[in-house]
C-alpha cells in the first residue's frame, strides 16, 4: 500500500532561515521535509510522508494575505496531496493565524483533510477552530514532542476517513459542535450527580461548558483632572519612524515605550503607525489622530489636566493574543503606578 502524501507548511523560524529579521520572506517551495517535518515523517512511519514543504515569513503572510494564499495554493496543487498539515504554531500569533488561514483555504479549495496545532490562546485558534481541526499544544515549542504524536494520530484518522472522537479523546480544540449521544443514565440523574459532587467538593465535569468572560469592574470616575498626571497607551501602533523596536503589524509579541518629553505634536516626519489591518494613510499623515498628544498639551497649558507622563506606550491590537495583551497591561500598569500616573488615556485605531 502506497504511503499517503502530505504537504507541510512552516514559517521562516521553523524552516531554519531566521527569526524576526527574516519574517518578510515570500512563500517558497522545497521538496521533502524541513524542520519539524522530520519528526512528523518519523512518527508517520509507513503510513504517510511529507512530499513537499511550503515556507513563508510570518510578516509577509499577514501583510500580504491574498497574494500569499494564491501562491501557496498554486504550490500545493501539483502534488495532489492526501493531507495538508500546518505548524504546529504553539503561541506564535502571526504564525498561528497563517497556519489556520492556509489550512482552511486548502480544505475549502482542494477538499482534502487539513490539520494544524497551536496553543488555545493563539488568535489563529479563535478565528478558525470551528472550521478546522486544531490540536491543542503547549505554550511554546518545548511541547513539540507531545504535539507531533497527537497530530499524527488525528491526521491518520482524517486521511483514512475514520470517525473522529470527542475533543478530550483526540486532543483537538472544541469546535462548538453539539452531538447527540445515548447515555445509560438519563439527564436528570446525571445533573443531580454533578450537583452533589460539586457540593461535596469532589471532581466533576460538566457536559456543556459555558463561555468564560473576563469582566473587569470599571474604576471610579475622576471629577477633577487639574492636579493629575495623565499617561497615554495605544493599541493603534504609533511608533517613531522606522519602528525601532520592530513592533509587529499583527499578533504583537511586544510593545514600545517612547519619550515625549518636550514634544508638543506627533508629526509625520517623526512618527508613523506599525499597525496592519486598517488604512494607515491618515494615521501616518497625522499620528495625533490615533494618539492625541497635541490636544493633551493644550489641556495641560490651560490647566485642565495637571501634567502628561513623559512616555507613551504603543503596541498593535490586530490579532494579538489575550495572553500577550494581559502581560503587556500588567507590565505597563506596574511601571505607570510606580511613576505616579493617576489616569490613562487608552486609544485604539
- 192-227 pLDDT per residue, tens: 999 999 999 999 888 777 777 778 888 888 889 999
In-domain check, residue 254? yes
In-domain check, residue 222? no
In-domain check, residue 161? yes
Q: Let me know whether 166 and 233 are in one domain.
A: no
Q: Tell me: the pLDDT tens digits for 83-113?
A: 999 989 998 888 999 999 999 999 999 999 9
Q: Let me know whether 275 and 135 are in one domain.
A: no
Number of Cβ within a 10 Å radius of residue 247: 20
In-domain check, residue 178? no
Q: Let me know whether 58 and 159 are in one domain.
A: yes
* Mean per-residue pLDDT over the chain, rounded: 91
Pairing of strands 256-259, 307-314: antiparallel
Task: Look at residue 122 and tell me whether its pLDDT is greater than 80.
Answer: yes
**Cell numbers linked to 92:** 506564535
**Domain tally, the chain:** 2
Average pLDDT score over residue span 271-292:
89
Q: Let me know whether 135 and 48 are in one domain.
A: yes
From 69-78, 243-252, 295-304, 307-316, the region with the lowest mean pLDDT:
243-252
Cα-based angle 47, 101, 277 (whole degrees, multiple of 5): 160
Question: 10, 17, 68, 69: which is closest to 40 by C-alpha?
Answer: 10
Q: Let me know whether 12 and 122 are in one domain.
A: yes
CB 196 within 8 A of CB 213: no
Q: Let me know whether 238 and 136 are in one domain.
A: no
Last residue of a domain, one of 152, 170, 188: 170
Range of the domain at 314: 229-347
Last residue of a domain, one of 148, 170, 192: 170
Last residue of a domain, one of 154, 170, 186: 170
Question: If pLDDT is split at 50, 70 and 90, which confidence band does 1 have?
Answer: low
CATH code, domain with 96: 3.40.50
In-domain check, residue 41? yes
Q: Let me know whether 238 and 130 are in one domain.
A: no
- Distance in angstroms (rounded) separating the CA atoms of residues 266 and 268: 7
Q: Let me know whether 32 and 154 are in one domain.
A: yes
Instruction: Return the SS3 of 256.
Output: strand
Cα-based angle 250, 251, 253 (whole degrees, multiple of 5): 115
In-domain check, residue 238? yes
Q: Let me know whether 138 and 240 are in one domain.
A: no
Q: Tell me: the pLDDT tens digits for 133-159?
A: 999 999 888 899 999 999 999 999 999
Average pLDDT score over residue span 313-332:
87
Confidence (pTM): 0.68
Q: Let me know whether 244 and 117 are in one domain.
A: no
In-domain check, residue 165? yes
Listing from the earlier edge strand, what are the strands of the sheet with 256-259?
Answer: 256-259, 307-314, 229-234, 343-347
Q: Let me know whether 166 and 20 are in one domain.
A: yes
Start-to-end CA span in the chain (Å): 56
In-domain check, residue 237? yes
306: left (phi over 0), alpha (psi -120 to 50) or beta: alpha
Q: Let me know whether 243 and 155 are in one domain.
A: no
pLDDT at 54: 96
Amino acid at each position: 500500500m502506497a504511503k499517503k502524501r502530505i504537504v507541510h507548511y512552516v514559517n521562516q523560524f521553523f524552516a531554519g532561515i531566521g527569526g524576526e529579521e527574516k519574517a518578510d520572506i515570500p512563500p517558497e517551495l522545497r521538496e521533502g521535509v524541513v524542520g519539524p517535518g522530520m519528526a512528523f515523517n518519523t512518527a508517520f512511519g509507513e503510513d504517510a510522508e511529507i512530499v513537499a514543504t511550503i515556507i513563508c515569513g510570518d510578516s509577509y503572510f499577514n501583510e500580504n494575505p491574498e497574494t500569499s494564499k494564491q501562491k501557496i495554493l498554486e504550490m500545493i496543487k501539483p502534488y495532489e496531496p492526501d493531507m495538508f498539515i500546518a505548524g504546529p504554531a504553539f503561541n506564535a500569533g502571526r504564525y498561528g493565524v497563517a497556519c489556520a488561514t492556509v489550512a482552511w483555504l486548502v480544505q475549502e479549495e482542494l477538499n482534502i483533510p487539513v490539520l494544524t496545532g497551536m496553543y488555545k490562546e493563539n488568535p489563529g485558534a479563535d478565528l478558525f477552530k470551528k472550521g478546522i481541526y486544531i490540536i491543542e499544544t503547549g505554550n511554546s515549542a518545548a511541547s513539540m514532542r507531545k504535539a507531533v504524536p497527537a497530530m499524527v494520530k488525528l491526521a491518520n484518522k482524517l486521511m483514512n476517513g475514520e470517525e473522529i472522537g470527542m475533543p478530550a479523546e483526540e486532543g483537538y480544540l472544541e469546535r462548538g459542535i453539539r452531538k447527540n449521544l445515548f447515555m445509560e443514565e438519563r439527564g436528570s440523574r446525571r445533573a443531580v450527580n454533578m450537583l452533589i459532587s460539586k457540593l461535596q467538593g469532589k471532581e466533576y465535569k460538566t457536559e456543556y461548558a459555558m463561555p468564560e468572560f473576563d469582566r473587569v469592574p470599571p474604576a471610579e470616575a475622576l471629577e477633577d483632572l487639574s492636579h493629575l498626571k495623565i499617561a497615554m497607551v495605544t493599541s493603534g501602533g504609533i511608533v517613531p519612524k522606522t519602528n525601532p523596536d520592530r513592533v509587529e503589524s499583527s499578533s504583537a509579541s511586544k510593545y514600545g515605550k517612547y519619550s515625549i518629553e518636550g514634544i508638543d505634536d506627533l508629526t509625520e516626519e517623526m512618527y508613523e503607525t506599525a499597525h496592519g489591518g486598517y488604512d494607515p494613510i491618515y494615521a501616518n499623515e497625522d499620528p495625533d489622530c490615533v494618539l492625541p498628544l497635541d490636544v493633551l498639551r493644550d489641556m495641560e497649558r490651560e490647566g485642565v489636566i495637571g501634567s502628561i507622563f513623559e512616555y507613551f506606550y504603543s503596541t498593535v491590537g490586530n490579532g494579538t493574543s489575550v495572553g500577550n495583551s494581559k502581560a503587556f497591561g500588567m507590565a505597563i500598569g506596574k511601571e505607570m503606578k510606580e511613576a505616579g500616573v493617576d489616569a490613562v488615556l487608552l486609544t485604539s485605531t
